[in-house]
C-alpha cells in the first residue's frame, strides 16, 4: 500500500476556512500522514453551485495557527469552485492525488447537489481529471464531524487500491450520530428533495422592500425510479434516514440517455 505521506490531498469546502467540518477533516487526514493543502472560501459560500468570480479580483491569504502545523492553508475570497481552480493553477506546485470537499455542515442529498458549493468544488476536480469526493454531515445542528473524517481516511486508502472510474465523483453523506450508531455504508442512487419556496418580504431601514428565501423541506416525498438502476436500490435520501453512510457516484455529463434514444428513434430533427 502507498505510504500516506506520498499522497497529496487538496481540501476545500463552502462553509468557509474556519468551519469546524473542514478543520476536523484536514487535521484527521494530516494526522494519518497525508500531505494536506487546504484552500477554502474566506466566509460561508453555501448554495453557490458551480459559480465563478469573473467581475472582481480574487484574493488569497495564508492562514496560520488554525490547522495542524503540517497543513498548508489558504483563505480565498472566491467561490468553492474558484478555490479549487486557483489552487490547481497557482497556489500548489504539485497536482493532488485526490480532492476532498467538506465536511459540509448540513446534508447534500438528492437534488441538493445541483446547488451545493461543496459538491461543485469536488466536481471541479473531476473536470480536471482528479479523483474527487464531496462529504457532508446530514445535520445543521450536530457537530459530530469525526466519524466522517475517520471514514474519509478509510475511503482514501480503499481508493488507492481500487481507483474510481474516470470522471466519477463520490458524494458522501454522514448520518449525524455517534460512530457506533452508524448502520453501515450503502451504495445509493441520487434521490429527490423538494422544498416549499417561501420568500419572506421585509423592509430595510429606508423603507424599501427586499426578500429573504426561507425554503421549507418537504420531508415525505416519493422517491423516483432511475432509468438505469433497479428500484430496490435505495436513494441517498432514504438511506440517510436509516443512519447509513450514503455513497452516491455522480458525473458532470448531464446527457439524458433515455431522451436521446427517444428523440433519435422518432427522428424529430429529420428534415
Whole-number Å distance between alpha carbons of 148 and 21? 9
Q: What is the pTM of this model?
A: 0.91
pLDDT for 220 beyond 60 = no
Residue positions counted in the chain: 271
pLDDT tens digit sequence for 12-26: 999 999 999 999 999
184 contacts: CB under 8 Å, gap ≥ 6: 244, 245
Q: What is the pLDDT of residue 55?
A: 94
pLDDT for 229 beyond 80 = no
Greatest pairwise CA separation for the chain in angstroms: 66
Q: Hey, what's the cell of 189?
A: 442512487
pLDDT tens digit sequence for 234-244: 999 999 999 99
Percent of the chain with pLDDT over 70: 95
Whole-number Å distance between alpha carbons of 8 and 5? 8
31-35, 136-140, 171-175, 229-233 — which is least confidently predicted? 229-233
Q: Where are the alpha helices (DSSP H) in the chain?
A: 20-31, 80-86, 117-127, 146-161, 236-240, 257-266
270 vs 78 pLDDT, higher one: 78
Render 39-65 in DSSP notation, one character per residue: EEESS--TT-TT----SS---EEE--S
Q: What is the pLDDT of residue 219?
A: 62
Q: Hey, what's the cell of 46?
A: 453555501
pLDDT for 197 beyond 80 = no
pLDDT, average across residues 169-194: 94
Q: What is the pLDDT of residue 255?
A: 87
Residue 213, classed as helix, strand or coil, is strand
For residue 3, with 0-12 CB atoms within 10 Å meaning exposed, 13-18 middle and 19 or more buried, which class applies? Answer: exposed
Whole-number Å distance between alpha carbons of 229 and 144? 32
DSSP 8-state symbol, 159 = H
Q: How confident is the model at residue 264 (pLDDT cuts 50, 70, 90)?
A: confident
3-17, 28-42, 147-161, 213-227 — which is least confidently predicted? 213-227
pLDDT for 143 beyond 90 = yes
4-189+229-260: CATH topology: Stationary-phase Survival Protein Sure Homolog; Chain: A, (3.40.1210)
pLDDT, average across residues 150-157: 96
Q: Hey, what's the cell of 34?
A: 497525508
Residue with grid cell 453551485, as numbered in its chain: 49
Residue 94 φ then ψ, to 5°: -115, 135
Q: How confident is the model at residue 231 (pLDDT cuts 50, 70, 90)?
A: confident
Query: What number of other Cβ atoms are within 10 A of residue 207's Cβ?
Result: 6
pLDDT for 270 beyond 70 = no
Amino acid at each position: 500500500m502507498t505510504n500516506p505521506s506520498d499522497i497529496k490531498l487538496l481540501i476545500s469546502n463552502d462553509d468557509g476556512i474556519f468551519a469546524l467540518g473542514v478543520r476536523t477533516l484536514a487535521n484527521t487526514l494530516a494526522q494519518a500522514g497525508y500531505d494536506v493543502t487546504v484552500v477554502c472560501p474566506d466566509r460561508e459560500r453555501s448554495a453557490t453551485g458551480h459559480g465563478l468570480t469573473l467581475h472582481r479580483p480574487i484574493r488569497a491569504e495564508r492562514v496560520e495557527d488554525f490547522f495542524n502545523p503540517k497543513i498548508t492553508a489558504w483563505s480565498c475570497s472566491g467561490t468553492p469552485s474558484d478555490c479549487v481552480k486557483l489552487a490547481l493553477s497557482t497556489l500548489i506546485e504539485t497536482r493532488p492525488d485526490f480532492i476532498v470537499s467538506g465536511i459540509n455542515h448540513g446534508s447534500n442529498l438528492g437534488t441538493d447537489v445541483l446547488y451545493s458549493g461543496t459538491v461543485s468544488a469536488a466536481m471541479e476536480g473531476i473536470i480536471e481529471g482528479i479523483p474527487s469526493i464531496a462529504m457532508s454531515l446530514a445535520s445543521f445542528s450536530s457537530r459530530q464531524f469525526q466519524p466522517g473524517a475517520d471514514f474519509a481516511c478509510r475511503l482514501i486508502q480503499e481508493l488507492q487500491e481500487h481507483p474510481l472510474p474516470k470522471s466519477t465523483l463520490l458524494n458522501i453523506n454522514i448520518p449525524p450520530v455517534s460512530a457506533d450508531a452508524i448502520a453501515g455504508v450503502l451504495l445509493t442512487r441520487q434521490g429527490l428533495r423538494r422544498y416549499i419556496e417561501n420568500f419572506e418580504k421585509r423592509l430595510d431601514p429606508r423603507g424599501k422592500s427586499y426578500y429573504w428565501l426561507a425554503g421549507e423541506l418537504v420531508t415525505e416525498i416519493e422517491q423516483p425510479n432511475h432509468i438505469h438502476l433497479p428500484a430496490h436500490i435505495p436513494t441517498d435520501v432514504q438511506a440517510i434516514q436509516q443512519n447509513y453512510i450514503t455513497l452516491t457516484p455522480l458525473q458532470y455529463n448531464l446527457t439524458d440517455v433515455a431522451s436521446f434514444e427517444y428523440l433519435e428513434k422518432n427522428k424529430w430533427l429529420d428534415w
